[in-house]
């Protein structure tokens, strides 16, 4: 009987912890991705503020896509559009050298994601 209570207690604790999984706000996500740019590309304060605005827009757009589009194919197409817009905005914010490094970083992320799926 003790073991049954122990298993029941463990199951309840596990489910409570799982339910408390932390969800970041769009602002926190934008700040995180902007900090990655600062660390990787050595961008100026002006560029940092502009990049934060772009990342915040991307984060809001992604949340909207996940809430409003149920079909995976449609969502993926919409996500590609969001990323294209992000890239075009970053192209105006970053220098050519910085944008090329950013593009390389994104390509590496995509390749790593493909490897994980395989």
Range of the domain at 66: 22-117
Q: How many residues does the chain have?
A: 118
- Give the whole-angstrom CA distance, residue 111 versus residue 118: 11
The answer to whether the beta carbons of residues 89 and 52 sit under 8 Å apart is no
The answer to whether the beta carbons of residues 79 and 62 sit under 8 Å apart is yes
Q: Which residues of the chain have pLDDT under 70?
A: 1-22
Strand residue runs (E) in 17-83: none
At 18 the pLDDT is 53
Instruction: Note the pLDDT tens digit of each residue in 91-111.
Output: 999 999 999 999 999 999 889
Residue 85 belongs to a domain: yes
Residue 38 belongs to a domain: yes
Residue 76 belongs to a domain: yes
At 108 the pLDDT is 92
At 6 the pLDDT is 45
- Give the whole-angstrom CA distance, residue 77 versus residue 72: 9
Domain total of the chain:
1
């Amino acid at each position: 009987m003790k073991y049954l209570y122990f298993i029941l207690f463990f199951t309840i604790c596990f489910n409570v912890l799982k339910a408390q999984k932390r969800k970041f706000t769009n602002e926190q996500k934008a700040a995180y991705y902007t900090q990655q740019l600062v660390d990787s590309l050595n961008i100026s304060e002006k560029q940092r503020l502009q990049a934060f605005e772009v990342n915040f827009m991307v984060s809001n757009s992604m949340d909207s896509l996940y809430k409003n589009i149920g079909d995976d194919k449609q969502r993926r197409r919409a996500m590609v559009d969001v990323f294209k817009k992000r890239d075009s905005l970053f192209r105006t914010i970053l220098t050519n050298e910085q944008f090329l490094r950013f593009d390389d970083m994104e390509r590496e992320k995509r390749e790593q994601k493909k490897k994980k799926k395989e």
